[in-house]
Structure 1
Amino acid sequence: MENKLRSEAEQQAHEHSCKLLLNCYIRELALEKADDIRINPNTLTYAVAFQASGVKVTGQLSYYSAMGEHEYLSMESGGETVHYRNLVRWITSELIGDGEQGANSGQHGMLKSAVEMKSSVKVDIAQPLGESTNRVEVAYARDFAQKVDNSVGNLTLYIEQAAGLDIRDYRTSEQSLLVGHPFHPFPKNSKGFSEQEVQKYSPELRTSFQLCYIAVRQDVYMQEWVDDEAMMDLHELLRSHVQPILKEKSEMYGLLPVHPWQYAYISRLAEIQHYFQDEKLILLGSAGPTVYPTSSVRTVYVPAWNCNIKLSLNMQITNMIRTNSAEQMRRTLDASKYVSQHDCFGAEPNTYIAYETGVATCAFEDEELTSLFTIAYRPIEFDPANTYVLSSLVEAPLPGLRSRLVTMLGGGRDIAERWLDRYLACSLLPIVRATGEKGIHFEAHLQNTLVTLKDGMPVGFIVRDLEGVSVDEELISEQDHAASDLLFYSREKAWARTSYYFIVNHLGSLIHVLARDVNVPEEHFWKQVRDALVEELEQTGNEYVQHLLTTEAFLAKQNLVSCLRGISQTPAYVPVSNPMKRIGSEVRGSCGIQG
């Protein structure tokens, strides 16, 4: 029975990974390789030719997605079922074979026209958030394949051990994101964890542990809080553990919480051994309350202290090293202060922000060394018994089943429509109002947003991880300029973030699972979004709402291409057709805008 279960888990992980890889490839290369990618929404058939390898992948879809999140019934090549490793090889060969020619070399005009606003605001960017190069090095291709393998191995383990576990509250929702990002080629990669460490520290396996702590002498210790009331006194909270070790020297030190994996890593670093010898750093071991790793792996939930702590973890989660740089933490605190001072959602009764209130670290001269120790505090100010991470609600307890959200709602179309109406009222509409009125933009993707439910219906929407906040530089005062230059972006770059993270990433996947699970086209729910935006436009004349309704396309991140080309820090983007533009040929609002 155990072997059979393992086989089933492997099969499900394999099929899901094939879906991810092909969906990423189709979305990201559809413009560049239009002659090689064919999808027929009427017959639910598809064919993708990989010219460099001389193969064609064909099959049947079980669901056609307007936003590209297709579901597959079959995936074959040459009469045989496709293996994910074959897909990896064919994709990398195709991109290596492209040399210097690719999607962005001949698409500049298309990208510009695709994202122009039909108003006074224009997004006129060929690569809005990053630079792209089309060369794929062999080393990147090899690294890519290893990360896909790692992700598939982890996913197999999660399906085998944790699939079907219920979601009861905030904590269990944080620990239920089994498959992760639907448009990332290796969403469950955790390169750096051994097999034993995956078992010990993966949130998907409902793990928990104690943090470790380091005492840092005050001349090396640094902390900053948004205000005195936000400060956490770890000395008091950990007195029974710390006092016997530090004794009369206790006041000479600040305390830093550290992930156990990071603690072992830091302890071995040659660069800081003299800090231990001089007692500038003292290792205190594990202590304190039980913590629970959340969906980001390195952020932990501490129920006893009613907070989350964003830790540093010097390893790859998906494709990024998860340490906290000085610039990231500066942005985080400045964003917390700015958004709070400008009362961002003050007029919205059901929309909230989870603020980062403090940062602590060591003041080393080497900034990379400092980033290994840096942490941020985020208090819990919502009801953890009834609040859930959005990304876990849109997932199914097992690949191929209905989403947890639609199961929770009972599976009917009418209730799904009512749920979405309530949700848009406390999420999308407040976000576009904050953008239009205050120039504040959020990276509100599915994993960065929470929803509080009452009787299954949304009564609160919460945005978190303020490092992603950006502010329209045209809407700031001279006094604000002095606060932080890191927050301020051109209008088009700030808006490109909001439209990608909330419209494409967030609403795209939410609407996909609602539509798929109640068996209607995604356009059914996009029309609902469009109707809400048309009403908002009539009332406010908000130019960003106007853009959402009338732009030909939104820009979506090319995760697969960016990972393969080694540009994940400054990823490339590709236009994705706007379903709301297709639904209605005309948009009438107070601005007299024609769609």
Structure 2
Amino acid sequence: MNTLSLQDHALDGEAQRHAIECLLNCYLREYALPRNEANLHDQTHDLPMSLRQGNGRCISIALPSGRLVVRTERTSLLGRCHYNSAPYFKGNNQSWQPLQANELARLLCTPLSGAERVSEMLQQVANSLQITRTFLRHSRPANDEADSLLASEQHQLWGHALHPTPKSREGISHDDLLACSPEVGACFQLYWFKVDPTLLRHQGEDPRNTLSQLSGRDDAYPCHPWEVARVLADPLVKRAQQLGLIQYLGPLGQAMYPTSSVRTLYHPQMAYFLKFSMHVRLTNCVRKNAWYELDSAVALTRLLAPIMSELAIQQPGFLLMPEPSATSLDLSAFGTLEEAREVTECFGIVYRENLPLADREQYRPHVAMALFTWDQQDRSACRQHVQRYADNKGLSLEQATLNWLDAYAGQMLGGVLYCLFGQGVVLEPHLQNTVIGFAEDGLPCRVWIRDLEGTKLVPEIWPAARLSALDERTRSSVYYSAQKAWQRVGYCALVNNLGEAIFHLANGSDTLEQQLWARISDLLRAQSTRLGHPPELRELCAGGPFPSKENFMTRLLMRADREAGYTLLPSPLATPEEKKSA
């Protein structure tokens, strides 16, 4: 076996290990633990020979067809595990067998749904695994010094740690994948059309200067490379081409960088991020800009402007990233409303304000997901940031970690909870939507929350009269009930975001993990007092459970992301007595 094949074999093993970790963690959290079908400290003697010795503890899961065991290096208070063995399965009256990711996925999914849904899930697991292999083979070291934000956007190799298919991108060729994916440091030109100005529609700020800067022309309009084939095949676009109103120009102009969301593109010298439509399923959703989302992003930016000003007073250092403009083409003169909306969605672009260059240079921003993850040497990426802060201040690593979390969580929770309980605004502060800025000593001092597509409003605080400028469909798309609002905010802030942050910051120390959650408990109690003790926070501070989104079951059952279910996780804030009485 030559050196290259040995390296490829090692990378394939890494891809397998991470796929297995995602599947097992999802299944444990959403299914096995809530049903008492998992033992997080299995001390039975009936184990595979390779698991009878080694560091860590063994976890066993009871399945309808047998028993699954795996050794874990660390297990968090939220049931999040990092494994250091293959999973082994023992069917009834059979011997132990090690499993690969596809075999594990089949074993876990088959009892839970019908053949068609299971088959689709298995295809998506295989797609995610193959794409992860591809990224590992083509990844490049991040240049954090040149542009910390770009480096953090483009080097999230593993993706969502508790999603069964974190890197699935359906229907994309190998060459297109490498050309346009952030994980391999891609940078590419947009595909442009010469467009008659009568077809162009924009809402909010006029972004045509940015389009001219990118294309070098005053009459051109872009789409994403992965969307161009769909656009060219559209009958209304063909009709407009025949009439000389649209002309395909192909790739041209300045190149842009894909960010961690894949479809949102960045250029350090442009005023905006450009969020494009693509009819490609990434993880749960087809990532198109629905016509009503083009309306709602700009409307929410306008409606939330006073709240952004209030945040500067109430929670300095916590900021929202406005989306002040949206554009598309209107071809309604050439077809039905439904046909025209298809074109509107294909060409739809949402413009998100870029961070000012001065802020990027001063605060060295990083996407949170790039910090609370593993690097390719299986180390927690955030640890080097904490170590730098500890060295700067002459602190122990433990004390530095506690200070670091205090600073970050104080900013993030302070802003997010004020928006929800003080203003009825439902943000989505998951790891990919959260950007962290740092003071000169390395301590977090800024938090930006982005992506107004996921931002919703609570109707009791935002009645229809306050949203009279929106049509009924757009208005309904921005509403969440109070219950759903808390589920989404609680999950994003406490489980997806801080759950992963503490898992990585604790670095396998049970004592430090408990201390970190105690700091979160203190912060939540202070925020509850500040906000007048809303029932959700009062219950949480009394040891109530955390809401956790069911990514595994949502994907398996083919539900829309908005209709995702939630599992209640035992609180890591609770005392043992509170846990017993819950």
On whether the aligned pair clears a TM of 0.5, the verdict is: yes
Instruction: Give the structure 2 partner of residue 175 of structure 1.
Output: 154
How far residue 271 of structure 1 moved from its aligned partner, in angstroms, is 4.6
Displacement after TM superposition at 1:477 (Å): 6.3
Please, which of 484, 492, 501 is the counterpart of residue 510 of structure 1? Answer: 501
CA distance in 2, matches of 1:461, 1:76: 42
**Alignment length (residue pairs):** 530
2:557 is aligned to: 565
Q: Which residue of 2 aligns with 1:237?
A: 213
Q: Given the alignment of the two structures, is residue 397 of structure 1 paired with residue 375 of structure 2, yes or no?
A: yes
Tell me, yes or no, if the aligned pair for 1:242 and 1:284 is still in contact at 8 Å: no
Q: In the alignment, which of 220, 226, 233 is matched to residue 268 of structure 1? A: 233
The correspondence for 1:579, drawn from 572, 577, 580, is 572
1:309-458 correspondence to structure 2 within 5 Å: 309-342=274-307, 343-347=309-313, 348-364=315-331, 365=337, 366=339, 367-382=341-356, 383-385=359-361, 386-398=364-376, 401-410=378-387, 412-454=397-439, 455-458=441-444
Asked whether the equivalents of residues 543 and 578 of structure 2 are also in contact (C-alpha less than 8 Å), the reply is: no
Which of 66, 70, 85 is the aligned partner of 1:55? 66
Matching residue of 1:528: 519
The residue type paired with residue 187 of structure 1 is: P
2:528 aligned counterpart, secondary structure? helix
Q: CA deviation at 1:360?
A: 0.6
Per the alignment, in what secondary structure is the counterpart of residue 279 of structure 2?
Answer: strand
Determine the C-alpha separation between the residues in 2 that align with 1:28 and 1:235: 45
Amino acid at match of 1:9: L
Q: Distance in 1 between matches of 2:120 and 2:144?
A: 34
Q: Matched residue of 1:68: which SS?
A: coil
- Deviation, 1:268, is 3.2
Q: Deviations over 1:455-508 (max 9, x none)?
A: 321121000001111222222367523244343333222222211111121111
What is the DSSP-based 3-state SS (H/G/I as helix, E as strand, rest coil) of the residue aligned with 1:555? strand
Q: CA deviation at 1:567?
A: 1.0
Q: What do residues 377-420 of structure 1 show as CA deviations (whole Å, max 9, x unaligned)?
A: 1121342341110001112222x622211122228221111111
Q: Give the counterpart letter for 2:16 in structure 1.
A: H
Tell me what 1:541 maps to. Answer: 532
583 and 437 in structure 1: CA distance in 2 versus 1, 3 angstrom threshold: farther
Cα pair distance change 1:187/1:46, threshold 3 Å: same
What per-residue deviation string (whole Å, max 9, x for no partner) do you get for residues 410-452 of structure 1? 2822111111111122111121122222121201100001011
Shift of the 457–79 alpha-carbon distance from structure 1 to 2, 3 Å rule, reads same
Partner of 2:192, secondary structure, is: strand
SS in 2 for 1:62: strand
Q: 2:330–2:343: 8 Å Cα contact kept in structure 1?
A: no
In structure 1, give the amino acid aligned to 2:499. Answer: G
List gaps (5 residues or longer) in structure 1.
96-135, 244-249, 587-593
Matches for 1:173-322 after TM superposition, within 5 Å: 173-225=152-204, 227=205, 231-234=207-210, 236-237=212-213, 241-242=216-217, 250=219, 255-322=220-287
What TM-score do the two structures reach when normalised by structure 2? 0.85
Give the aligned partner of residue 79 of structure 1. 96
- Report deviation, 1:41: 8.6
Match runs of 1:65-214 below 5 Å: 65-74=76-85, 75-77=87-89, 78-95=95-112, 136-162=113-139, 165=142, 167-168=144-145, 169-214=148-193
The alignment-based identity, stated in percent, is 24
1:57/1:521 CA distance change after superposition, 3 Å:
farther
State the Cα deviation string for residues 111-151 of structure 1 (Å, max 9, x = none).
xxxxxxxxxxxxxxxxxxxxxxxxx2322211111111111
> Quick one: which amino acid aligns to residue 450 of structure 2?
R
Alpha carbons of structure 1 residues 280 and 563: separation in structure 2 relative to 1, 3 Å: same
> CA separation in 2, counterparts of 1:474 and 1:438?
11
Distance 2:100 2:511 in 1: 30
1:164–1:396 Cα change, 3 Å = farther
1:112 corresponds in structure 2 to: none
TM-score using structure 1 length: 0.84
Alpha-carbon contact 2:171-2:280 (below 8 Å) kept = yes
Residue identity in the other structure for 2:448: I
Shift of 1:152: 0.9
Change (3 A) 1:238 1:179: closer
SS of 2:61's partner is strand
User: Partner letter of residue 209 of structure 2?
Assistant: D
Partner Cα distance (2:464, 2:344) in 1:
32
Amino acid paired to 2:453:
E
Query: Against the structure 1 CA distance between its residues 196 and 540, is the aligned structure 2 distance closer, same or farther, given a 3 Å change threshold?
Result: closer
Q: Where do residues 464-475 of structure 1 align in structure 2 (5 Å cutoff)?
A: 464-475=450-461
What is the one-letter code of the residue matched to 1:221? L
What amino acid maps onto 1:28 in structure 2? Answer: E
Q: CA deviation at 1:197?
A: 1.2
Structure 2 CA distance for partners of 1:565 and 1:50, relative to 1, 3 Å: same
Runs of 5+ consecutive residues of structure 2 not aligned to the other structure: 44-55, 90-94, 332-336, 391-396
Tell me what 2:466 maps to: 480
* Distance in structure 2 (CA, Å) of the matches to 1:585 and 1:565: 34
d(CA) in 2 for partners of 1:517 and 1:288? 48
What amino acid does structure 2 have at the position aligned with 1:287?
L
1:495 corresponding residue in structure 2: 486
What amino acid sits opposite 1:269 in the alignment?
A: D
Could you tell me which amino acid in structure 2 is paired with residue 40 of structure 1? H
Q: Which residue identity lines up with residue 413 of structure 1 in the other structure?
A: E
Residue 49 of structure 1: SS of its match in structure 2? strand
- Bigger CA drift: 317-326 or 171-180? 317-326
Equivalent pair of 1:515/1:524 in contact (CA under 8 Å): no
| 1:127 aligned partner | none
Task: Output the CA distance in 2 between the equivalents of 1:19 and 1:521.
Answer: 23
Amino acid at match of 2:569: V
Mapped partners of 1:148, 1:58: distance in 2: 21
Residue number among 54, 57, 65 corresponding to 1:44 in the alignment: 57
1:363-383 Cα offsets, whole Å, 9 max, x none, are 243223321111111121342
Are the structure 2 counterparts of residues 196 and 266 from structure 1 closer, same or farther at C-alpha, using a change threshold of 3 Å? Answer: same
